[in-house]
Amino acid sequence: MLLKTFGWSFVVTALGLVAAVLYGGWAGFGVVAILSILEISLSFDNAVVNAGILKKMNAFWQKIFLTIGILIAVFGMRLVFPVVIVALSAKIGPIEAVDLAMTDKDRYQELVTDAHPSIAAFGGMFLLMIFLNFLFEDREIKWLAWIERPLAKLGRVDMLSVCIALIVLLVSAMTFASQAHQHGGTYANKAETVLLAGIAGLITYLIVGGLSSFFEDKLEEGEEREHEAEEEAKRAGKPVSAVKLAGKAAFFMFLYLEVLDASFSFDGVIGAFAITNDIVLMALGLGIGAMYVRSLTVYLVRQGTLDDYVYLEHGAHYAIGALAVILLVTIRFQISELITGLIGVVLIGLSFWSSVRRNKRLAAEGGEGTEEKAGIPSGV
């Protein structure tokens, strides 16, 4: 199972490290290895959230996610994305941007760093919306019940998450963006840029997330028609297969996954410049890391880990919220990628530990869902 799931990641790792040695010697090998570890540590919460969405999709779209999706993730976000940033910020063509990346790496890094406020605002707002909508949704299983229960009641207010996100964006533009960090330790007023990029991130979430939800809801009618057949299968002792997303619903869910992955990769791409400004080594290191994130996503789906450890998804979304805040703060202040990665790992680790405690408690009580039925607060 492990080899089947992570096999391609192992192959890509071997090829990537060999390419790193051939291109940059053993120094290149070290840089690629460090970047790979950086990407994995920063994106573990991404894998958990992806798994929660991917398990709803049928086998065909899961394969699309693992083939076309990985091409978009590795080559699109880890190679093309930095070039596009430079092309837009410097107002030059993509070919010129590639030439700049290969011949004038210091200038290339400078342009990407100066474009960070708009990147952080876009990604921060997109991730913040994911976190807020999760937080305001009334869920049967709650991790930090003392927080999630009152917030679920507040979530009944229409468009509350959008209002909060816009307030956060406005405050960020008036504070962090007024003295945005630039290359060389200088500062510049990027309030207008941050506002525009943040609104673009919010609109992107509303469009892609809204279309995904719309087509997913359409399937509920089909699920209702399947209900009687499922009940009959249960009475006959036959296995019952869940209804999987397909067609338009799966397509927009796939699109949502790719935009989500792009938002997660922002901090990894920008953080990589603290280690190297060589676009080839950067693509190799971040690409290897992205492969492991994809493999981990599939592993979580196939093992049913999210069903067994029910608070993992909660921990991942809290990590998303933390990452959103960190991205907005980095508009003005520099924050180590080590801190960003550790926050995500700690939150997911705590949620895993809480899930293990819950499973042991339920096993001791002799039944599932006892705590929720009895109204006992769950989690830590």
- pLDDT digits 0-9 by tens, 153-200: 888 888 899 999 999 999 999 998 887 766 666 778 889 989 998 998
Range of the domain at 174: 2-374
Residue 338, beta-bridge partner list:
none
Render pLDDT for 51-69 as a digit per residue (tens, 0 to 9): 877 777 777 777 787 778 7
Sort residue 379 into left (φ over 0), alpha (ψ -120 to 50) or beta. left
Q: What is the pTM of this model?
A: 0.72
Q: How far apart are CA 122 and CA 116, in angstroms?
A: 10
Q: How far apart are CA 189 and CA 174, in angstroms?
A: 10
Domain membership of residue 379 (yes or no) is: no
Q: How far apart are CA 75 and CA 85, in angstroms?
A: 14
Domain membership of residue 235 (yes or no) is: yes
Domain membership of residue 75 (yes or no) is: yes
Q: Which residues of the chain have pLDDT under 50?
A: 243, 368-380
Domain membership of residue 190 (yes or no) is: yes
Domain membership of residue 118 (yes or no) is: yes
Listed residue (155, 150, 161) closest to 137, CA to CA:
155
Domain count along the chain: 1
Q: Can you give the pLDDT at residue 171? A: 93
Q: How far apart are CA 8 and CA 36, in angstroms?
A: 15
Listed residue (121, 96, 122, 126) closest to 111, CA to CA:
96
Give the angle subtended at the CA of 379 by the CAs of 376 and 380, to the nearest 5°. Answer: 115
Domain membership of residue 201 (yes or no) is: yes
Contact 45, 316 (CB under 8 A): yes
Q: Can you give the pLDDT at residue 370? A: 44
Q: How far apart are CA 10 and CA 3, in angstroms?
A: 9
Q: Can you give the pLDDT at residue 19? A: 92
Domain membership of residue 380 (yes or no) is: no
Domain membership of residue 270 (yes or no) is: yes
